[in-house]
Amino acid sequence: MNERRKFLKAFLFLLPALVILIIFRFLPIVLSFFISFFNWGIAGKGSFVGLGNYIEIFKDEKFYQSLLNTLWYVLTVLPGTIIISMFIAVLLNQKIKFKGFFRTTYFLPEVTSIIAISFVWKWIYHPKIGIANYILTSLGMSPLKWLEESRGIFEMIFQRDLPKLLEGPSLALFSLSIMTIWKSIGYNVIIFLAGLQNIPEHYYESAKIDGANVWQTFRHITLPLLSPTTFYVFIMTTITSFQVFAPVWMMTGPPAGGPLGTTNVIVYYLYDMAFNYGKYGYGTSIAFILFLIILFLTIVQKKYGEKNVFYE
Amino acid sequence: MSFMNRIKRINFSMVLTYFILIVIALTILFPFFWMVSTSLKTPVEAVKFPPDIFPKNPQLNNYVTACKKVNFTRYFINTIFIALTQLVGVLFTSILAAYAFARLDFKGREILFISLLGLMMIPMPVYIVPGYMLLQKIGWIDTYFAQIVPWMANIFPIFLLRQHFKTIPKDLYDAAVIDGYSDIGFLFKVVVPLSKPALTTISIFSILASWNSFIWPLVVTNSDSIRPVQVGLAYFIQEQSTSYTLLMAASTFVVLPLVIMFFLAQKQIIESYARSGLKD
């Protein structure tokens, strides 16, 4: 078969996928690069502004706040998710009865509607009649405003004014992090369990012979040999957390992104700019910056991760 | 003595393990329980503080009222229709494309494949604004097309299937050619039946993704009659923000089919997730 026929055949196999991917994945990216150079609004193309949108973004305090909020969200979700799911996975990786039941139960939030779940958590967090406050008050603590609290959590813990960067995420944003951790434990337990099952049994046997205790075994065998999985969970959690949207839209405000803009994360901000303010060009520019951040993170994590990850 | 100690220690650590696992399971289940419990209360009971854990007289009527207020049947039909058409599209496009990448020799194969992998790294939110504008240009805003067609092909399933197709021995192909199979015949009569686990995985991901997609249908639809269940529920919640009992009944209604589906296919679903997380 000659080259041309080979090419033609492959082309026919690829055609259905490529038509869709080119029109709905590739074209929008080219388009968004183009849009971001215009003062594009609901009315149409507007005027060419060059790097104007990007310059405006770098002067936009709300953008910096959304970036900071997103970072806090990622930084709170990451350790919570990794530590809790790894801990559960290690517990489940023993000879446990009802292992399947536990695994299934933990996984449940992952497959149920994020909208329904967000609403239930908003109800749990209700500042006046929510059950979260009922639990706090029964334990003798004072009730919190949860999703309506704009003060930073470190500010609340240490009860003093702190510089802006050290205030921490607002309790409202932190409440979203708690829900996210609750939701994503199941998935990450599955991933960690798969990773744990890849650790050869003989390591544990030799540790036992050497008289290592539970903690030593975990510290010197499980943790280093599990590091490729941990690294994977780290990257995936960072990338998905950077894109949080639905819980912010559902649970905070009105207006969403509140109180005082402390839950205004980057994707919500670009949505808000584009669809509530009709500033398509500006929204697109924010999206582009989001893309660059994620790209950068992936590269940094890959480079840094490779060095610190133990591969057998 | 030391033997007794060991038994004691083992039992203690096992009891502690079960205790922790059960506490976590209850924490995971609690919001679901609370949703159902609230959905069965009277409006007065629901806003009582301190709250009652169980409703006094379960108000099944809340479900009837919620169903009357919102057209859930319509939303469900929309969601199922969108999920199924997307699934068919994804299977069709990715089986063919994955085969080309795994088995066919052609110029530019590697470059094309690597470009697709690069495109896969672009996060979904980047598509919202330009995607919306593109659909507006085509005149598809507020149609089923806008919700279905853009997601009838995806890079991840192509990638996953290609990995799987590559593990199928070349000898099988040579034998099939001798038997007079064409590429299409070989693909659908030999490769596809051998790839059931991988196809199950991409089907599960496709169904869950369309069932749970939110920001895309939120942006591209305006009329209530074509909205999927997630967006319908979200708007219902925003409109009725304080009728907690009705809203919880509605939420339970939306969660229930997913929970049932999950219990029926839990093994496949969990295995799919575990498989996709492992590096090739």
What's the pLDDT tens digit per position in A288-302? 899 888 888 777 766
pLDDT at B271 exceeding the cut of 50? yes
Return d(Cα B9, Cα B15) in angstroms, integer. 10
Q: Domain of residue B17: give its range.
A: 2-63
> Contact, A124 vs B39, CB < 8 A?
no
Q: Establish if B13 belongs to a structural domain.
A: yes
ipTM of the complex: 0.89
Per residue in A53-83, is it b (16+ CB within 10 Å) or e — as a string?
bbebbeebeebebbbbbbbbbbebbbebbbe
Return d(Cα A9, Cα B54) in angstroms, integer. 64
- When CB atoms are compared, the residue of B251, B262, B273 closest to A116 is B251
Q: Are B13 and B139 found together in one domain? A: no
Q: Establish if B223 belongs to a structural domain.
A: yes
Tens digit of each residue's pLDDT (9 = 90 or more) over A51-86: 888 999 999 999 999 999 999 999 999 999 999 999
Which one has a higher pLDDT value, A303 or A110? A110
> Of B25, B45, B63, which residue constitutes the final position of a domain?
B63
Contact A120 B94 (CB under 8 A): no
Task: Report residue B39 as tokens.
Answer: 């959905």
The pLDDT of residue B279? 40
Tens digit of each residue's pLDDT (9 = 90 or more) over B220-235: 999 989 999 999 999 9
- Sort B5 into a burial class: Cβ within 10 Å, 0-12 / 13-18 / 19+: exposed
Return d(Cα A61, Cα A80) in angstroms, integer. 29
Q: Are B125 and B234 found together in one domain? A: yes
- When CB atoms are compared, the residue of B18, B100, B258 closest to A113 is B258
Q: Are B27 and B9 found together in one domain? A: yes
Contact A21 B152 (CB under 8 A): no
Per residue in B208-246, is it b (16+ CB within 10 Å) or e — as a string?
bbbbbbbbbbbbbbeeeebbbbbbbbbebbeeeeebbbb
Tens digit of each residue's pLDDT (9 = 90 or more) over B80-135: 999 999 999 999 999 999 999 998 988 889 999 988 988 888 888 889 889 998 99
Q: Establish if B276 belongs to a structural domain.
A: no
pLDDT at A284 exceeding the cut of 80? yes
Q: Are B100 and B119 found together in one domain? A: yes
Q: How far is B31 from chain A (nearest CA, A)?
A: 7
Alpha helices in chain B (DSSP H): 2-39, 43-46, 61-69, 72-103, 109-120, 128-138, 144-148, 155-166, 170-178, 183-186, 192-194, 196-212, 215-220, 229-239, 244-264, 266-277
Name, in order, each residue with C-beta under 8 angstroms of A273's C-beta and a sequence gap of 6 or more. Answer: A279, A282, A283, A286
Q: Are B94 and B176 found together in one domain? A: yes
Return d(Cα B152, Cα A6) in angstroms, integer. 26
Count of all residues that appear for chain B in the document:
280
Q: Establish if B33 belongs to a structural domain.
A: yes
Q: Is B128 on the interface with A (CB under 8 A)?
A: yes
Q: Is B119 on the interface with A (CB under 8 A)?
A: yes
Q: Are B31 and B106 found together in one domain? A: no
Name, in order, each residue with C-beta under 8 angstroms of B134's C-beta and a sequence gap of 6 or more. Answer: A23, A24, A27, A28, A31
Q: Are B59 and B75 found together in one domain? A: no
Q: Are B171 and B91 found together in one domain? A: yes
CATH number at B187 reads 1.10.3720.10
Q: Are B31 and B128 found together in one domain? A: no
> Contact, A241 vs A73, CB < 8 A?
yes
Indicate the number of domains in chain B: 2
Report the percentage of chain A scoring pLDDT > 70.
96
At B3, the pLDDT band (50, 70, 90 cuts) reads low
**Which residue segments constitute the domains of chain A, with CATH numbers given?**
59-308 (1.10.3720.10)
For A51, A55, A115, A208, A217, the CA distances from A58, given in Å and listed in that order, are 11, 5, 33, 57, 49
Contact B234 A249 (CB under 8 A): yes
Residues of A in contact with B32 (CB under 8 A): 108, 112, 120
Report the percentage of chain B scoring pLDDT > 70.
95
Residues of A in contact with B106 (CB under 8 A): 6-7, 9-11
At B9, the pLDDT band (50, 70, 90 cuts) reads low
Contact A291 B124 (CB under 8 A): no
Report the greatest alpha carbon distance in chain A.
81
Alpha helices in A161-276 (DSSP H): 171-197, 201-209, 214-217, 223-242, 246-251, 266-271
The pLDDT of residue B280? 34
Q: Establish if B91 belongs to a structural domain.
A: yes
Q: Are B189 and B121 found together in one domain? A: yes
> Contact, B14 vs A93, CB < 8 A?
no
Q: Is B54 on the interface with A (CB under 8 A)?
A: no
Q: Are B107 and B138 found together in one domain? A: yes
Q: Establish if B208 belongs to a structural domain.
A: yes
Query: Could you tell me which chain B residue has the CA closest to the CA of A40?
Result: B133
Q: Are B121 and B215 found together in one domain? A: yes
- Among A151-165, A175-189, B170-184, the range with the most confident prediction by mean pLDDT is A175-189
Q: Establish if B77 belongs to a structural domain.
A: yes
**Quick check: helix, strand or coil at residue A261?**
coil
DSSP state of A257: T
Tens digit of each residue's pLDDT (9 = 90 or more) over A193-225: 989 988 898 998 888 898 888 889 999 999 999
Q: Establish if B34 belongs to a structural domain.
A: yes
> Of B48, B63, B78, which residue constitutes the final position of a domain?
B63
- Phi, psi of A170, deg, nearest 5: -65, 155
